[in-house]
Amino acid sequence: MNNTEKRTQVFDSLTPILKPKGYKLYRTGGDPCYIYYKNGIAIKIGFNFFNSGDITFSTFGITHYEVEDYILDLDCFPETFKEKKRNHLPTVYDWTSKGPFGFMGKTPEEIEKGIEHIKRYINGDGQVFLDTYMHVPNILKRMDELEAKGITWQSRNECGILAGTLDAEFRGLIISKLCNDPKYNSKLSIVDRVFEEPNYADWKPYYEKLKTALPTILPKYN
């Protein structure tokens, strides 16, 4: 089977599940994916089809534009993200669900077995993640749980929650402000110390720009 045939088999099976939920399929390119985008929320699940026969899929990522619009205003990411079509900056990623998130798919039988694995994620752990983290205060709650354990908000290996690298620190502060977090000043002090590191000098101008915007962010959640 070639990759075109493999994509057809996978997407013909998943589209009847995801399209009724509002997802649009982008089937071309190196990262075919399903995107849901409505009312300031985007959700993505993506796929890779390798010449070796491996087929992998991502866990869900959720974009909250009440957070990401502030990130986009910093102009530290490519302009394509501002189009809000196929490309969306994720706010959170599902790094808690257990893999594997891939399978060998050289034959129709192997692919069909893999499709069932994807469906189990979409309808199981993936749905639990969406149900939880579509609500911004639940993101803050998870951030606080991680912080109490000495784990960074974006730690992939330790079941973190926020997407990104150092830009996750930006997201954390924005979420804290949106949620009227009583621990906001503590979080601000932590992030201030992060960007005092000389290795992060390239990020410092974006952080200073964000700090001028933070006082203007009004709480939306209590």
pLDDT tens for each residue of 29-86:
888 999 999 999 999 999 999 989 999 999 999 999 999 999 999 999 999 999 999 9
Q: Are 136 and 178 in contact (CB under 8 A)?
A: yes
* Model confidence pTM above 0.85: yes
Rounded to 5°, the CA angle 109-113-115 comes to 115
Mapped onto helix, strand or coil, the DSSP state of residue 102 is strand
Q: How many percent of the chain have pLDDT more than 90?
A: 95
User: Residue 222's pLDDT is what?
Assistant: 80
Over the stretch 97-137, which tens digit does the pLDDT of each residue have? 988 899 999 999 999 999 999 999 999 999 999 999 999 99
Helix ranges, 45-151 (H): 65-72, 108-123, 125-133, 136-148
- What mean pLDDT is reported for the chain? 96
127 to 62, 123, 131: CA distances (angstroms): 12, 5, 6
Enumerate the domain spans of the chain: 3-133, 139-145+165-216
Burial class (CB in 10 A: 0-12, 13-18, 19+), 97: middle
Q: How many percent of the chain have pLDDT more than 70?
A: 100
DSSP conformation class of 68? H
Intra-chain end-to-end CA distance of the chain, in Å:
53
Q: Residue 164 — left, alpha, or beta (φ > 0 → left; ψ -120 to 50 → alpha)? A: left
Distance in angstroms (rounded) separating the CA atoms of residues 33 and 30: 10
Over the stretch 11-37, which tens digit does the pLDDT of each residue have? 999 999 999 999 999 998 888 999 999
Confidence of residue 151 (pLDDT cuts 50, 70, 90): very high
Distance in angstroms (rounded) separating the CA atoms of residues 66 and 62: 12
Residue with tokens 């599902």: 94
Distance in angstroms (rounded) separating the CA atoms of residues 193 and 186: 11
